[in-house]
Amino acid sequence: MKGRCCSTIAPGYRNLTGASTLAWILGNGKVNLRVKILDMLGVFAGVLASTPTLLPAADHPRPNFVFILVDDMGFRDISCNGSRFFQTPNIDRLASEGMRFTNAYAACPVCSPTRYSIISGKYPARGRLTNYIAGHRWPDNSPLLPVEWQPYMASDEVTLAEALQSAGYKSACIGKWHLESRGGDKELTANTQPDRQGFDETVSRVVSQQDKGVAGLTDRALEFIRLNKDRPFFVYLAHNSVHIPLEAKPDQIDRHRQRVRADDPQNNPIYAAMVETVDAGVGRIVSELDQLDLATNTIVIFCSDNGGLSVKEGANTPATSNLPLREGKGYLHEGGIRVPLIVRWPGQVRAGSTCDVPVSTVDFYPTFMEVVQKPVPTGQQLDGESLVSLLRQTGTLQRDALFWHYPHYSNQGGRPSGAIRQGEFKLIESYEDGSLELYRVTEDPGELHNLVSQNPDRAKALKWRLDDWRREVGAQMPSSNPIYAPSRPPYSDAAKAPEAWKVVN
C-alpha cells in the first residue's frame, strides 16, 4: 500500500525536495539567491550531522522485544498525536527516538479479535474470533441473527510466542490475555491460557493501587527483563488500562480537573490520570532498558487494541473524544480502528521519523519473523506483511488493501459491517441493509462526505474486492432475522440494554 515514511528534518524544511525546494529558494526575491542556497546547504548539513547512522541489518544481533499494548486508547490520546489535554512525555520521548505511524489500524474495533491478530498474525475473520470474549448480549429484536463465532483462540495456532520460543527467546505474557475460553469447559479454558501458547511466564492479575494494576504489571515486566537480560526475550505487556471502569488516584484526578478546557472535547480528568499512569509505566520500562544497557538491542512497540471509548458506557464516561476521527470503539469508522503505534529500534529506525503507510496489527507477527530471520512456522498462514522495510525506510509494502469484518452489534452502538481501505479510499458496508459509505480518508479523516454517489464505480470495485476477501478467509456472515419488527426497540428489557443503545438506537 502506497505511502511514505519520513525522517525528521529541520522545522520548515520538511518535504522540501526537488522542484518544491527550488520554488522555496526562489520564493523571496528580496533575498540574494546565493545566500539563500548557502543557508539551505548549511541547514541540511547540520541535519545530516545530527542524524544517527543506521546500522547494517547483519551487524545487529537478535534484538529483544517489548510490546506494550494499551486497552482502549484512542489515536489522539497521546500528545504526539495531537492531544492538548492528555500528557504523555514518556510516550512522546519514545516517538522522538523511533518511528510514529499515522495510519496504524487495529484489526477489529473491539479488543479480543485485535489481540488474536497480534498473537496469530491472522485477520480475526479467518480464526472466527470476531468479537470480544465472551461477547455481549445480542439485541432481542435486530435485523440480523448472531453468527456462531469462536469465543477463544484455538490451541492449534502457532502463536507469535511459540515462533519466538523456537528461535531461542524467553517470553512473558504480563497482563490482559483475553483469548481464553470463558465457557464451562475447564480443560478448554486451561488449554487456551497463555502458558499453553508459548509463553514461559504469565502474570494475569496484580493488586491495583487505584491505577488498574499499571504499576504492578510494570514491576513484573521489569523483573522479567532483569532476569533475562543476558538472553533474547519477548515481553508482551498488555495493560488493563485505560479500559472502563475508569479508576485513578484522587490527587491525579484533581490535578487534571484543573486543566479542563471548555473548547477541548478531550476533557475527562479521570481518563487523563489513567493516561498519565500508563505513560509513567512506559517511562519506567524505557529507563530500565537504558540502565541495563539493553536499549540499543531492544525493539519497543507501543500500540492500542482499538479506538477510544467515545460514548456513554458506565460511570464517568465517555472516556475520550477521537475527533476529528469519527466514532470510536465498537465502530468501523476511523475513530474505532485507527490506533497509536510507535516503534523504537535504535540503529535501525531513524529517530523522530513518521510513516503514513497504512499498517495493521496483523503485521506484527511477520515483522518479528523477519527481524529474527526465521521462516514463518509451517502451517501458520499469516495475513500481515513485515514492516521492516518501512522501519528501515528501505521500501514500502506490497499489498494494496486492508480489510475488516465485524458481524456483531457492539456495546457502543456499532452495527454489523465490513470495511476495506485501499490507498486513499475506504469503503464501509452495512450488513443490515447493504448500504455503502465511501470516503477519501486521506482528505476526510472524519468521514463526513460519503462519495458513493459521486464515484459509484470505485465503490462497486471496492465492494467486489471486499466480497472476494470475505470468501477467501471464510468470513461468517450474519443471517436475516425473520421475526424482526422495526417498530419495536432492539432490547425488550430496556434495563439490560447497553447505555449507548439507549441513545443512538
Tell me what percent of the residues of the chain surpass a pLDDT of 90: 79
User: Which domain-ending residue is among 399, 415, 444?
Assistant: 399
- Is residue 334 domain-shared with residue 391, that is, in the same domain? yes
Region of poorest pLDDT, from 88-92, 110-114, 132-136, 431-435: 132-136
Give the per-residue pLDDT at 394: 95
Tell me the mean pLDDT in the region 85-101: 98
pTM, full prediction: 0.89
Residue 37 in domain: no
- Is residue 350 domain-shared with residue 440, that is, in the same domain? no
CATH number at residue 447: 3.30.1120.10
Q: Which of 437, 397, 404 is nearest to 420 (CA)?
A: 404
- Is residue 203 domain-shared with residue 280, that is, in the same domain? yes
Per-residue pLDDT of 343-396, as tens digits, reads 999 999 999 999 999 999 999 999 999 999 999 999 999 999 999 999 999 999
Following DSSP, what letter does each residue of 72-127 receive, concatenated? S--TTSSGGGT-SSS--HHHHHHHHTSEEESSEE-SSSSHHHHHHHHHH-S-HHHH
- Is residue 370 domain-shared with residue 465, that is, in the same domain? no
CATH number at residue 118: 3.40.720.10
Residue 33 in domain: no
- Is residue 425 domain-shared with residue 341, that is, in the same domain? no
- Is residue 291 domain-shared with residue 421, that is, in the same domain? no
Q: Is the pLDDT of residue 297 over 70?
A: yes
Please, which pLDDT band fits residue 60 given cuts at 50, 70 and 90? low
Are 233 and 289 spatial neighbours (Cβ–Cβ below 8 Å)? no
Q: Is the pLDDT of residue 463 over 90?
A: yes
CA–CA distance, 122 with 160 (Å, rounded to integer): 11
Please, which pLDDT band fits residue 183 given cuts at 50, 70 and 90? confident
Residue 5 in domain: no
- Is residue 339 domain-shared with residue 369, that is, in the same domain? yes
Q: Based on the structure, what is the number of domains in the chain?
A: 2
Residue 47 in domain: no
- Is residue 83 domain-shared with residue 97, that is, in the same domain? yes
Residue 328 in domain: yes
- Is residue 183 domain-shared with residue 290, that is, in the same domain? yes
Termini Cα distance of the chain = 36
Per-residue pLDDT of 117-172, as tens digits, reads 999 999 999 999 999 998 767 888 999 998 989 999 999 999 999 999 999 999 99
Residue 45 in domain: no
Which is it for strands 298-304 and 64-70: parallel, antiparallel or unpaired? parallel
User: Which domain-ending residue is among 349, 383, 399?
Assistant: 399
Region of poorest pLDDT, from 27-36, 423-432, 471-480: 27-36
Q: Which domain holds residue 122?
A: 63-399
Give the per-residue pLDDT at 490: 86
Q: Is the pLDDT of residue 252 over 90?
A: yes
Which CB contacts under 8 angstroms, 24+ apart, belong to 88-92? Answer: 88/275, 88/276, 88/279, 89/279, 89/283, 90/279, 90/280, 90/282, 90/283, 90/286, 91/279, 91/282, 91/302, 91/340, 91/342
CA–CA distance, 140 with 253 (Å, rounded to integer): 39
Q: Which of 327, 418, 320 is nearest to 108 (CA)?
A: 418
In the three-class reduction of DSSP (H, G, I as helix; E, B as strand; rest coil), residue 437 is classed as strand
Residue 16 in domain: no
Q: Cβ neighbours of residue 335 under 8 Å, at least 6 residues apart?
A: 74, 75, 307, 308, 310, 322, 323, 325, 326, 327, 328
Q: Cβ neighbours of residue 108 under 8 Å, at least 6 residues apart?
A: 114, 117, 124, 130, 306, 337, 404, 406
| CB neighbour class for 86 (10 Å; exposed up to 12, middle 13-18, buried from 19) | buried
Tell me the mean pLDDT in the region 43-71: 64
- Is residue 259 domain-shared with residue 390, that is, in the same domain? yes
Q: In the beta sheet, which residues pair with residue 418? A: 405, 429
Per-residue pLDDT of 200-229, as tens digits, reads 999 998 888 899 999 999 999 999 999 999
Residue 485 in domain: no
Regarding predicted confidence, which is higher, 98 or 33? 98
Q: Is the pLDDT of residue 5 over 80?
A: no
- Is residue 283 domain-shared with residue 320, that is, in the same domain? yes
Q: Is the pLDDT of residue 22 over 60?
A: no
User: Which domain-ending residue is among 399, 430, 445?
Assistant: 399
- Is residue 407 domain-shared with residue 384, that is, in the same domain? no
